[in-house]
Amino acid sequence: MIQKKKVVYLVGEGTGETVTKLANAALSQFVPNSTEVRLFTMVEDTARILSILSGARREKAIVAYTIVDAKNRDFLEREAAKRGVEAIDVLGSFIIKLALFLEQKPLGIPGKQHQVDASYYQRIEAIEFAVKHDDGQAVHTLNRADIVLVGLSRTSKTPLSSYMAQLGWKVANVPLFPDIAPPKEILTIDQVKVYGLIIEAVALVRVRQERLKYLGLPDHASYADRDKIEREIDWCRAFYRKHSQWPVVDISGKAIEETAAKIMQLHQARLRAREKAAWQKAELKRRRGD
């Protein structure tokens, strides 16, 4: 009989990089593939914490978190205790508590998390994929991507693809131009994979001016012209409205890590919603005796 995997929730108020690294290091001390890990990023309010704890209680999960804000941290600990959910501050004795939860003895192998494993090859494959599918290349294999980013020139598509690839996501990015029809593949692939990027005009002017300077060109060229950029953005917003199934993420003033965390959070939510809808449809069909 196959033993059901236990669930570990990872909660961070930023990108979740710290809690993920620490959790991976601790989990490497236990039998591989004995857990399912769910990551929750940008957790900055009590409503989100309550939602996460409700899910943890439902799935009988353990919650590991890195929350610096004292108010939110205390709130999480207090509400977790009310619901009977085990919660760990990962800066504490993570491995000891995991040993109790998983009912396993730690393997005691120092540095085990640094060994080359499947996740390493997954990241390498994702990085190679991002390079091959950068800036609209290899659109004939867009369907192999986990996520496809679309947006105007200089809207952080490439940096986002590279960063997310290092986390193991296969990300492709495709530029949009007002006078050029986008590749038909964008509309034929699974639309749950597609995310639109947008930026404020002032920010895009600044970014494009810096790009022109880097190339040794005058910063007043039409590429960085304010009026032209505003028209581009207006066109882009109108294009996104025609494809309302795509979430639109504003990157203005945001770090790459923050935007990536937002996209991954949205993507996980969309996948869960689709799975739930499929289950409900199947259940309804079953009840009808179809």
pLDDT score of 120 more than 70: no
Q: What per-residue confidence (pLDDT) applies to 114?
A: 46
Q: What phi and psi, each to the nearest 5 degrees, are found at residue 13?
A: -85, -10
Of 20-24, 105-109, 234-238, highest mean pLDDT: 234-238
> What value does the mean pLDDT of the chain take?
86
- The pTM of this model reads 0.61
pLDDT band at 13 (very low <50, low <70, confident <90, very high): confident
pLDDT score of 52 more than 90: yes
Burial bucket for residue 68 (CB in 10 Å: 0-12, 13-18, 19+): exposed
pLDDT score of 98 more than 70: no
- For tokens 């979740």, name the residue: 16
pLDDT band at 46 (very low <50, low <70, confident <90, very high): very high
pLDDT score of 24 more than 80: yes
Q: What is the pLDDT of residues 220-236, one digit of tens each?
A: 778 888 999 999 999 99
Say what percent of the chain tops pLDDT 90: 49
Average pLDDT over every residue of 57-63: 94
Q: What per-residue confidence (pLDDT) applies to 101?
A: 73
215 vs 196 pLDDT, higher one: 196
Q: What phi and psi, each to the nearest 5 degrees, are found at residue 6?
A: -90, 150
Q: What per-residue confidence (pLDDT) applies to 3?
A: 62
210 vs 264 pLDDT, higher one: 264
Q: What per-residue confidence (pLDDT) applies to 28?
A: 81
Q: What per-residue confidence (pLDDT) applies to 118?
A: 61
Q: What per-residue confidence (pLDDT) applies to 73?
A: 83
Of 51-60, 72-81, 94-103, 207-216, highest mean pLDDT: 51-60
pLDDT score of 132 more than 80: yes
Burial bucket for residue 40 (CB in 10 Å: 0-12, 13-18, 19+): buried
Average pLDDT over every residue of 77-91: 87
Cα–Cα dist 104/100, whole Å = 7
Show the domains of the chain with their CATH numbers: 6-114 (3.40.50.2300), 119-279 (3.40.50)
pLDDT band at 1 (very low <50, low <70, confident <90, very high): very low
Q: What per-residue confidence (pLDDT) applies to 262?
A: 93
Q: What is the pLDDT of residues 189-198, one digit of tens each?
A: 999 999 999 9
24 vs 238 pLDDT, higher one: 238
Q: What phi and psi, each to the nearest 5 degrees, are found at residue 98?
A: -65, -35
pLDDT band at 289 (very low <50, low <70, confident <90, very high): confident
